[in-house]
Amino acid sequence: MQEIQIIDSDLIGSLVTKAKNAERKRTNHNFHEPQEVYQRFLNVLSKNTYISPHRHLSDPKPETFVVLEGEIGFLIFQENGDLQEFHKLSSKGPKRGIDLQPGVWHSLVCLTDTAVCFEGKSGPYDPSVDKEFHPKFPLEGDPKVVETIQHFESLFV
């Protein structure tokens, strides 16, 4: 791993292109190794990507998101899946980021063509326990995903 990594326009531009061309319409750029206790990365989203509502409870992980470019809609859900609150986060403000304690049900939706977020959370990364998906919402690949994205976006119009 490089001792110093610069977050510049060239890096962001290459990641935006990669995200737009990715099947899932998003990509990550990790600054950490999987076993590190502090995970930090760029999370680059394109319009119509879907992130199923989830939480990090069984392996408790607080998370921080800061929007560097574009806008996202950040959704917080109650235990039963009902919407608790939602926030428009934008690189232009007034809300630019959010910090979550472990176990908070959440999702996000890309509100601009692309959005670039810096994300930090506890590690190490273990995909078998990283997140728990809420049973009320479709998972990636489900035909109801398009309808769910449209509903999430409608909250920010």
Parts of the chain with a pLDDT under 50: none
Q: State the pLDDT at residue 2.
A: 76
Report pLDDT digits (tens) over 57-99: 888 889 999 999 999 999 999 999 999 999 999 999 999 999 9
Q: Residue 100: which domain range?
A: 9-154
**Mean pLDDT taken over the chain:** 95
pTM: 0.94
3 inside domain: no
**What CATH number is associated with residue 137?**
2.60.120.10
- pLDDT score of 136: 97
Question: Within a domain: residue 4?
Answer: no
**What is the pLDDT, as a whole number, of residue 62?**
93
Q: How many domains does the chain have?
A: 1
Q: Which tokens sit at 78?
A: 């109650």
Buried b (16+ CB within 10 A) or exposed e, 123-151: bebeeeebeeebeebbeeeeeebeebbee
**Is 68 among the domain residues?**
yes
